[in-house]
Amino acid sequence: MSNNHDNKPIILVVEDEQIVALDITRTLESLGYTVLPPVESGEKALEVISAHSLDLVLLDVKLKGELDGIDTARQLRRRFSIPFIFLSTFSDEDTLSRAKKTEPYGYITKSSHQNDLHSMIEMALYRHKMELKARKNEEILSITLKSINDAVIGATLDGTIISWNKGAEKIFGYTEEEVRGKNLLLLTPPFYPNELPDILDKIGENIEVEHYETVRQTKSGEVINISLKINPIRGLMNEVTGVSLIARDITAKKQLEREILEISEKERRRIGKDLHDNLGQNLTGISLQLKLLENMLQEAECPEEVESARRIQDMVNQSIKQTRNLAKNLLTVTLENQGLSVALKELTLQIESLYNCTIECTTDLKNDITDGTMATQLYHIAQEAITNAKRHGDAQKVEVLLKEEDSEYFLQVRDNGKGIERHESQGLGLKIMEFRSNIINGRLSIYDNEHQGTTVICRVPKFQ
């Protein structure tokens, strides 16, 4: 747009009939526009446009010289960002068809009323202003997308990639040219269950998908942990036409979490060993001393004191039993020595005895889980879910299922309790289960039906 002092739009008339050109110039000036001296050819028009800052060109379709109006319009489109309106004595279909291909901002006959000309010019100027504004916004968005480190990917609802920023190129190693038109499945490791089709279906049905963590594969074959957020892209009628995915590489963060959890497990085992070897042995020693004291009091014929010694000994023996149970939970010796299947069955028997409820444990594995981190986290997820079912759901029956599928392990804990009560302590337990699931790249789902029990499911890729 021009920057003249009175902000009047500057217009150039390109017309090879001098009388018509002067008439149009006077009309435009009477409407309040600034008009440059008219020119009679396309070649002259391009020279003037190159030398001046213009807002609009009124262009005759039929011009003398090598460049007619339509040829000149093509040059304007290719070389300059200036709107143009065709002027013509003709309005036949052939001329209109040729003119439309140059995408003019308007088409008006020379015999039109000045009000029609005025309206056409104002609409063209406004449209061009909006296009410049949209272009500027697109440039800002493009610069923003290029500058951020997160991967920002656009895709259709069937997963076809339609946009790919520099962050995606940096994280996944593919250029936009390599992935455009391909499916997002390209980024899913072959061993990992592809959860994206289900998620894209939900997006298409206007079901909100929460932010979640998963794994993806780079061009080099490296499997990385990513944090993923998927949002719908909506069309003019508010219908979902595609999705935008924002992914962040959290591989380093996940590795740190694993290391922290491993340290936590080591500390857990140390505390369990101390409970068993130190506190447990000390309490056992106290129990034996109390037995000796009881015998001495019996010999001294002190019945009241004998009864007191027995009560204290019973309390100490109960503490010994609790200490052993705590040590057993912390040490998970069975898990380390015999595997997850045996450890889960032992865990369910222990909790069944402790809480006086029915727990069924079914395992169906070709080979027991040997990955120490995976086995440990699945064990504690099951432990937390079973404990929650009894403590917070008042369940009388709990079913535990661990099975092996083609590409993943499936752990399910289902109870018949009253459902999850979302109080603070329970919320912490759920967060811990989610954290443990994320550590092993699992997907944790919790289905809660009030007065009908709770189902906790954790799916974990077999190969990591």
Per-residue pLDDT of the chain (464 residues; tens, 9 = 90+): 454 446 789 999 998 888 888 988 999 999 999 999 999 988 999 999 998 889 999 988 888 778 888 888 888 888 888 899 888 776 667 767 777 778 888 888 777 778 888 888 999 888 888 888 877 776 766 666 666 778 999 999 999 999 999 899 999 999 999 999 999 999 998 877 778 888 888 888 777 777 788 889 999 999 999 988 888 888 777 788 889 898 999 988 888 877 877 787 778 778 877 877 788 788 888 888 888 888 888 888 888 888 988 899 899 888 888 887 777 666 565 566 678 888 899 889 888 887 888 899 999 988 888 778 888 899 999 999 998 888 888 888 999 999 998 888 999 999 988 876 554 445 677 888 888 898 888 888 888 876 678 999 999 988 76
Q: Among 458, 410, 457, which Cα is nearest to 438's?
A: 458
Model pLDDT, residue 425 = 47
Helices (H), 52-113: 69-79, 93-100
Model pLDDT, residue 184 = 93
Q: DSSP state, 400?
A: E
Helices (H), 205-302: 251-274, 280-299
Give the burial class of 303: count Cβ atoms within 10 A of its Cβ; 0-12 exposed, 13-18 middle, 19 or more buried.
exposed
Does this chain's domain 148-249 share its CATH topology with 336-464? no
Tell me, which fold does domain 148-249 have in CATH? Beta-Lactamase (3.30.450)
Give the burial class of 50: count Cβ atoms within 10 A of its Cβ; 0-12 exposed, 13-18 middle, 19 or more buried.
exposed
Cα first-last separation, the chain: 59
Model pLDDT, residue 145 = 62
* Secondary structure of 4-43 as H, E, C letters: CCCCCCEEEEECCCHHHHHHHHHHHHHCCCEECCCECEHH
Model pLDDT, residue 3 = 47
Model pLDDT, residue 353 = 82
Q: Which CATH superfamily is domain 10-144 in?
A: Response regulator (3.40.50.2300)
Domain parsing of the chain, residue ranges = 10-144, 148-249, 251-331, 336-464
pLDDT of 369-396, one tens digit each? 877 888 889 999 999 999 888 888 888 8
How many CA atoms lie within 13 Å of 87's alpha carbon, on the beta-carbon side? Answer: 25
Please state, in angstroms and rounded to a whole number, the distance separating the CA atoms of residues 61 and 41. 11
pLDDT of 53-76, one tens digit each? 899 999 888 887 788 888 888 888
CATH of domain 336-464: 3.30.565.10
Which residues pair with residue 361 across a beta bridge? 400
Using DSSP, state whether 462 is helix, strand or coil: coil
- Give the relative orientation of helices 303-331 and 251-274 as an angle to the nearest 10 degrees: 150
In Å, what is the CA distance from 12 to each residue of 4, 15, 32, 72, 173? Answer: 15, 10, 14, 13, 50
